[in-house]
Amino acid sequence: MNTLTYIARRLMFIAPQILGIVLVSFLLVKTIPGDPATLMLGPTATPQAITALRHEMGLDQPVLIQFGIYLRNLSKGDLGTSWQTTRPVLEDLLMRFPATLELVSAGLLTAILIGLPLGLVSAFRPKSWFARAVDFYSLGVGSLPDFWLALVLIFIFYTLLGIAPPPLGRIDLALTPPPQITGMYLIDTLLIWDLPAFRSSLSHLVLPVLALGLINAGPILKMTQSTVEKMLQSDFSRYEVLCGLPHNLVLRHALRNALPSILTIISVLYGFLIGGAVLIEIIFSWGGAGQYAVQGVLNSDLFPVLGFVLFSAIFSLTVYLIVDLIYFAIDPRLGN
Amino acid sequence: MQQRSVKEKEPRLRSSTVALRLNNLGVEFPTALGNPVVAIRDLSLEIDHGTILGLVGESGAGKTTLARSLLNLPPVPGRITSGECIFDGTDLRKLSEGEQRKRRGRDLSIIVPNPRSELNPMITVGDQIATRAEIHLKIDRAEAQARALEMLKKVQIPDPVRRMKAYPHELSGGMAQRVVIAMALVCSPQFVISDDASSGLDVTVQAQILRLMRELAMEQQSAMLFITRDIGIAAHFCDQVAVMYAGEIVEIGTRENIFLRPRHPYTIMLMAAFSHNAGLRAQWRRPDDQAAPRNSQGACSYASRCPLAQEACRSDHPHLRELALGHQARCHFPVERL
C-alpha cells in the first residue's frame, strides 16, 4: 500500500518533468543555427520557395506558438515528421530506439559483470597485487574514450584476426532482419526461432558491447570498490569479524549494504548511455536512436531530436523509478 | 559473594580454574614518523572461570586495544609484537586463521559499545543473532532462530517475538545493547569481554544491563573481562579489578584490596576524581596534570603526573610487585595509608 502510494506520487511528477524537459530542449534546438527550409530545398532554391516552405512548416511563427503546436500534436501521439527520412518520427524511433536499447543494455550488463566482481575483490583485499591491477585498469579505462577502444577492437578482431563481423550494422547484410516484434534482434530472432540470424546479430553485438562494457565498467568498479571498502571498515562489519563470521559472509553483508550506491551509479549510467553510446553507434553503423538524433541536430531536423529527448527522458525517469523501488526493497530503513 | 572471596585466598594454587591467561602481550601502532606508539606493553593477565575482572583506566589507556588483541584482532593499524594468549590449553595466536575464527564468537566473544552502529542495518536482529548461532554451533536455521528467540527472552527484551523481525534502527539504545549482549552470549562462550558496553546508557538501564550480564555470565560459568571507564561500576560489579595506565597494568587485585587499600597513586587519583571531596582531588592530582608522553623508557610511565614522584621514578621503570596476597602494584613507593 505504502509503495503503491509512492509510485502514484512519483508518476504524478513524471508529466511535468517531461514537459519541462521538452520545453527546454525545444528552445535549445531552436537556437541551433541553420534553417531546415534552406537545407531541404538545397543550394539552388529561390528565396520565394524558401519563404513559402517556411510558412508551410510554421517556421515563421513565434517560437512559443510553434511549441504550442508541437504540444498539441504530441497529445495526439504525433511526434512530427523527419524531413531527412520523410517518415513520422514516432515510427523511426520505434524502429531505432530498441536497437540502441539492446546495445546499451548489453553493454551495461557487461560493465556490471566486469566491474562488480573486480570491485568486490579489490575491496576485500585492498593491498594485494590484484587490487593494484584493478586500480590500474580503472584508471586506464577512465582515461580512454570508448570510440577509441572500439576502433582498436575492430582493428584487432576484424582487420587482423578476421574473427569479428565487419562493423556494418546489427546483422549480416545477406540475412533478412527479423520482423519487428520488440525491435531487439536478439529477442526477435529467438522469438521466430531463426538461429542463424540470432548468431549473426549476437556476433555483431560483441565488439560494440565489449567496447561499452570495458569502458563503463570503470565507474561501477570504482563505486563498488569504495563503498564496499567503506562498509568493510564500518563498525558492524568489524563486529561481524570479531564475532567470527566467515569472510565470505562478511563480504556478502558489506555488498548488500553497498548495493544502493552501486545501483545509483548503474541507473545514472543507463540513462546516460542512451545518448552517450552515439559514437559507438556511428562507428558500427548501428542505426540506433542516438545516431538518428545526432543526424537531426546536424541537419536542423527538429522533430527527431525532440522525439529522442522525449524517449530518453521517459526511459531515464522509468529507470530511476524502478531503482527507487529497489531501494525500498533492499533497505529496511527507507520503509516509512 | 562469600564463596568468591574464599577463592581469592588461593589464587595461584588452582590454576586449572584459569579460563584465560595472557602472557607478555605487546601491541604497537605504527606512525608516519617511524617510531611506533606502544599501546600495550608487556601485559600479563589471568582470569578464572566464573570471575569478573574489571579493567579500568582513562581513554587511551589501551583498554579497547587489549580487548581486541585478546581475539588477535587489534584495532587497525595496530600490530601485536609479542605475547601469547592461552585459552583452553592452547595459544590462540598460534592457531590457524580458520581455527581462530571458529573460536571467536563461540568460545570468546566480545560485547561492544555503541550497539546501534555495530549491528548490520539491513538485517533483522533475529537473523543476526541466529546467523552467529548457526555458524558457530553448526545447527540448522530453525534451531538457530529458536535459540535467538530464547536469547532475546533472556536479555529481557519486551515482546521478543516481534523484536526478532525488527531492524536495528527500530530499537532504542538500551534495546540494541541487549541485542548485542544476546549476540555475544548466544553460543554460551567461556570467556566474555565487555568493552565499555554500559557507557552511553542512562543509569537505570545501565544497572539493569549490568545485572543481566552478570547473571548470564555466572549462569554459564563464563569468565568475564569487564572494561569500563567508570571506576564506580567496577567497584559494584567486579570480583577483581585491574587498573590500566599507558598500556600497562599499574595495580591489580581483589575488589576489596583495590577499593579499601589502594596502593598506586594513579588508582587513588582515579577514585578521587569520582569522589565529591575536592580536597582529596587536589591532593592526588598535580596542578600541571596532562596526558603523559608515551615511550618513556626507563621511567615510571606515571612519573610525570604523579604527585609523589621521586628521583627513582624518573630513572627506573617499576615492575608489578606483589604487595599482599592477591594484590599487585607497579610502583616504587606504593602508598601505605591514605
Contacts of B121 in chain A (CB under 8 A): 236, 257, 331-333
Q: What is the DSSP letter of B275?
A: S
Answer whether residue A305 shows pLDDT above 80.
Answer: yes
- Would the pLDDT of B242 be above 90? yes
**Are the Cβ atoms of A239 and B114 closer than 8 angstroms?**
no
Which pLDDT score, from 0 to 100, does residue B4 have? 42
Interface contact flag, A235 B112, Cβ < 8 Å: yes
Domain ranges of chain A: 95-287
**Pairing relation of β-strands B37-48 and B18-29?**
antiparallel
Mean pLDDT, residues B215-226: 84
What's this model's pTM, rounded to 2 decimal places? 0.82
Is the pLDDT at B251 greater than 90? The verdict is yes
Q: Which residue from A minimizes the CA distance to B130?
A: A245
Residue B325 confidence class, pLDDT cut points 50, 70, 90: confident
Mean pLDDT of A178-191: 86
How far apart CA B200 and CA B113 sit, in angstroms, is 8
Q: What is the pLDDT of residues A2-53, one digit of tens each?
A: 778 878 888 888 888 888 998 998 888 888 777 777 777 877 888 888 888 8
Round the average pLDDT of chain A to a whole number and report it.
Answer: 88
Report which of B301, B308, B256, B259 is spatially closest to residue B286, judged by C-alpha positions.
Answer: B308
Does B122 sit within 8 Å of A234, measured CB to CB? no
Is B2 a residue whose pLDDT tops 50? Answer: no
CA-wise closest residue to A150 among A208, A195, A110: A208
Interface test with B, best of A227, A233, A243, A259 (most B CBs within 10 A): A243
| pLDDT confidence of residue B274 | 79
CB contact under 8 A, A236 and B118: yes
- Does position A267 have pLDDT exceeding 70, yes or no? yes
pLDDT tens for A85-98 read 888 999 899 989 99
Q: How far apart are CA A295 and CA A85, in angstroms?
A: 11
- What residues of chain B lie within 8 A of the CB of A238, using their CB? 118
Query: So where are chain B's domains?
Result: 114-186, 262-329
Q: Measured between CA atoms, how close is B323 to chain A, in angstroms?
A: 37
What is the arithmetic mean of pLDDT over B123-129?
A: 93
Q: Taking Cα atoms as reference points, which of B84, B85, B74, B167 lies closest to residue B127? A: B167
Residues of B near A (CB-CB distance < 8 A)? 68, 71, 73, 76, 101-106, 109-110, 112, 114, 117-124, 131-132, 135-136, 167, 169, 183-184
> Looking at the domain covering A95-287, what would its CATH class be?
mainly alpha
Distance CA B220, CA B12 (A): 23
DSSP letter at B76 equals T
The runs of H, that is alpha helices, within A170-301 are 185-191, 195-233, 235-242, 247-276, 278-283, 289-298
Q: Which amino acid is at A311?
A: F
Q: How far is CA B34 from CA A272, B28, B37, B247, in A?
A: 48, 12, 9, 19
